[in-house]
Amino acid sequence: MTPLYIPVRHPDVSIIRRERNLPGLSALLDMDELRVRLEVAGVPAVCATPTYLRLKPATSAVAGVRLDAGDSHRYARVVAYPVGAHRKLERLARRADAAGGLLMLDDRVGLAVCTDTCDPDLPGIRSARTRHPYAEVLVYKPGRRWVARCSDCEVLLKVHTPARAAEVVSAHRSLERLVPTAPIVEVDDSGVVVTRLLPGRGVADLAGGDRHDAEVRTGIVLARLHRHSARLGRGSVRTTSSGAVDDSQFARGLHTAAAGVAAIAPTLAGRADALADRVVRALAGRGERTLVHGDFSADQVLLDRWGAPILIDLDRAGIGDPLLDPAAWVADAIARGAEPEHAGAGLRAGYRAGGGRIDDAALAAHTAGALLHRAVEPFRRRRSDWDIRAHALIATAETMIAGGDRRPPADRLSSVAG
């Protein structure tokens, strides 16, 4: 079956044409096609909405999808493999069918759809749904992470692979001694980590002066975290293999991100790889290491009733360059549409006020690296303009690390902002 409709010049068309050995990929990129295929298989779906997509060129594609049918909905994992190349699809379908979660199998195009409870890498989804049947799913990244909120029980449920869950708990324990955060209330062997659902207003929901003031307070807390953990010494801080960042891991991560960009936009391949090299060179020899949040952004901070920041989502905490955190914040703001010259100005001012040191060139390089990591996200989150956004993020990153005065534009105004 060919896609019912693909918009002319839509960037997904070029990917479908390149990945001819993944004929089922078109159903992951075109939700209308997926919906029709499900209906033909006897699975009603009024609407299919993608939540996340990962593509390994010539190898596989996997997507998380929300399926709506009337007043009900469920989440599913959709996979596409090369036809007849191996027996992964057959094994996946057999396990899902035995668990009662196989929704569709079309081995003619290498396509299968299963419920999220049959995700082989996230066995905790089934137990989390059993214990909290009315939880609202917030995030589903097949094989990686599933997050839901149970308002009745006032908890946040996170499901990781069992091995990753152990690292997450270790990362959380490292930071909870140093910053206000949501306490862990339950952990099980299937990969479920449950934290208390905290009341509060998200910094990401603020604007104008309120946003700037909240960023300043958040920057002070972040600086305190970095100062205190530096005094503890690296040997006494519990960390995780995924959170710990040394120079080789940092470089590998950047080049992996560049490869991800090349997979969806081959015209950006050379620029993304060169950008990764430039970031690595710009940061060579920086020896500063502290405990870092690891995925810092306005989404990861709540304000309590008194306006004090609470840091959440500590899953990627570990040892790294302290500037990774403010750079991630700035890059996230830029990716969400903030002008580079204004992004994160309040956070940087607060960080300095809290005693944090910012090397402007190093912050620019880290921000460029963080933008490189984010360049593939519009595609994975199925933004219709993902190609435009990917090009814009790479171009902004290149500007950040350009020669001459390599400080972020906003930091050239630091004497005014802070």
Contact assessment for residue 287 and residue 322, using Cβ atoms and an 8 Å cutoff: no
* DSSP track, 32-78: HHHHHHHHHTT---SEEEEEEEEEETTTEEEEEEEEEETTEEEEEEE
Structure confidence by residue, pLDDT tens digits, 3-36: 444 444 578 999 999 999 999 999 999 999 999 9
For residue 179, which phi and psi values (nearest 5 degrees)? -135, 150
Say if residue 236 is in the same domain as residue 186: no
- Residue 96 inside a domain? The answer is yes
* DSSP track, 71-101: TEEEEEEEEE--TTS-SHHHHHHHHHHHTT-
Contact assessment for residue 153 and residue 132, using Cβ atoms and an 8 Å cutoff: yes
Q: How far is CA 152 from the centre of its chain?
A: 27
Q: How many domains are contained in the chain?
A: 3
What residues pair up with 148 in beta bridges, in sequence order? Answer: 137, 157
- Residue 2 inside a domain? The answer is no
Say if residue 219 is in the same domain as residue 159: no
Residue 284, CA distances (Å) to 171, 321, 357, 363, 365 in order: 26, 12, 18, 13, 11
Distance in angstroms (rounded) separating the CA atoms of residues 261 and 269? 7
CB atoms within 10 A of CB 8: 5
- Residue 1 inside a domain? The answer is no
Structure confidence by residue, pLDDT tens digits, 234-281: 444 444 333 445 678 899 999 999 999 999 999 999 999 999 999 999
Helix (H) or strand (E) holding 223: helix 208-232
Domain end residue (candidates: 196, 217, 248): 196
Domain end residue (candidates: 116, 140, 157): 116
From the list 59, 152, 63, the residue with the least C-alpha distance to 116 is 63
For residue 6, which phi and psi values (nearest 5 degrees)? -130, 120
- Residue 5 inside a domain? The answer is no
Q: Where are the beta strands (DSSP E) in 71-190?
A: 72-80, 102-106, 111-115, 136-141, 145-150, 155-159, 184-187
Distance in angstroms (rounded) separating the CA atoms of residues 266 and 261? 8
Domain that holds residue 173: 124-196
- Residue 307 inside a domain? The answer is yes
Distance in angstroms (rounded) separating the CA atoms of residues 27 and 14? 14
pLDDT at 245: 55
Amino acid at 123: P
Say if residue 342 is in the same domain as residue 228: yes
Q: How far is CA 111 from the centre of its chain?
A: 25
The encoded tokens of residue 332 equal 């996230």
- Residue 182 inside a domain? The answer is yes
Say if residue 128 is in the same domain as residue 100: no
Q: Where are the beta strands (DSSP E) in 190-348?
A: 192-196, 201-202, 290-292, 301-303, 309-311, 318-320
User: Tell me, what CATH number does 138's domain have?
Assistant: 3.30.200.20
Paired sense of beta strands 60-69 and 47-56, if any: antiparallel
Q: For the chain, which ranges sit under pLDDT 50?
A: 1-8, 234-244, 403-418
Helix (H) or strand (E) holding 272: helix 269-283
**Euclidean distance between the first and the last CA atom of the chain, given in angstroms as a whole number:** 59
**Does the pTM of the predicted model rise above 0.75?**
yes
Say if residue 214 is in the same domain as residue 355: yes
Amino acid at 317: A
Say if residue 300 is in the same domain as residue 346: yes
Say if residue 98 is in the same domain as residue 128: no
Distance in angstroms (rounded) separating the CA atoms of residues 121 and 145? 9
From the list 122, 127, 113, the residue with the least C-alpha distance to 64 is 113
Domain end residue (candidates: 100, 116, 132): 116
Contact assessment for residue 406 and residue 361, using Cβ atoms and an 8 Å cutoff: yes
Distance in angstroms (rounded) separating the CA atoms of residues 46 and 256? 37
Crossing angle of helices 386-400 and 324-335, rounded to 10°: 140
- Residue 4 inside a domain? The answer is no
* DSSP track, 320-384: E-TTHHHHHHHHHHHHTT--TTTTTHHHHHHHHHTT----HHHHHHHHHHHHHHHTTHHHHTT-T
Q: What percent of the chain has pLDDT over 90?
A: 79
Say if residue 55 is in the same domain as residue 99: yes
Say if residue 333 is in the same domain as residue 359: yes
Task: Name the one residue in this structure whose structure tokens are 């920041």.
Answer: 309
Say if residue 69 is in the same domain as residue 179: no
Distance in angstroms (rounded) separating the CA atoms of residues 83 and 160? 29
- Residue 382 inside a domain? The answer is yes
Say if residue 57 is in the same domain as residue 144: no
Say if residue 253 is in the same domain as residue 376: yes
